[in-house]
Copies of this chain bind each other. A is one copy, B any other.
Amino acid sequence: MNFEETLAERIGEAQSVLKAYLPEETGFQKTVLEAMNYSTLAGGKRLRPVLMKESFSLFGGTGELIAPFMAALEMIHNYSLVHDDLPAMDNDKYRRGRRTTWCVYGEGMAILAGDGLLNYAYETACRAFDLLETQAGSYRAVSEALSVLARKAGIYGMVGGQCADIQAEKYPKEAITEELLLFIHQNKTAALIESALMIGAILAGAPKEAVDRMEQVGQDIGLAFQIQDDILDVTGDQQVLGKPVGSDEKNNKATYVSLRGLAAARREVDRLTQEALSLLRSFDRRNLFLEELIEKLVHREK
Contact = CB atoms under 8 A, between A and B. Distances in A.
A83 B115 contact: yes
- How many copies of the shown chain assemble into the complex? 2
Given A88-B107, A116-B154, A164 B122 contact: no
A166 interface: yes
Interface stretch (A23-31, A47-55, A294-302): A23-31
A160 B122 contact: no
B123 A150 contact: yes
A134 to B, nearest CB: 16
A126 B148 CA distance: 10
A18 interface: no
A150 B89 CA distance: 26
Interface in A143-185: 143-144, 146-147, 150-151, 153-156, 159-164, 166-167, 180, 183-184
A47 B142 CA distance: 31
B126 A108 contact: no
A163 B107 contact: no
A143 B159 contact: no
Nearest to A36: B155
Interface in A81-128: 83, 86, 88-89, 106-109, 111-112, 114-116, 118-120, 122-123, 126
B111 A163 contact: no
Interface range on chain A: under 10, 10 to 19, 20 to 34, or 35 or more?
A: 35 or more
A227 to B, nearest CB: 19
B162 A112 contact: yes
A228 B30 CA distance: 28
B29 A155 contact: yes
A108 B114 CA distance: 14
Contacts of A285: none
Given A86-B108, A123-B154, A129-B144, 5 more contacts: A32-B160, A88-B108, A112-B162, A112-B166, A123-B147
Interface of A: 23, 27-29, 31-33, 36, 79-80, 83, 86, 88-89, 106-109, 111-112, 114-116, 118-120, 122-123, 126, 129, 139-140, 142-144, 146-147, 150-151, 153-156, 159-164, 166-167, 180, 183-184, 187
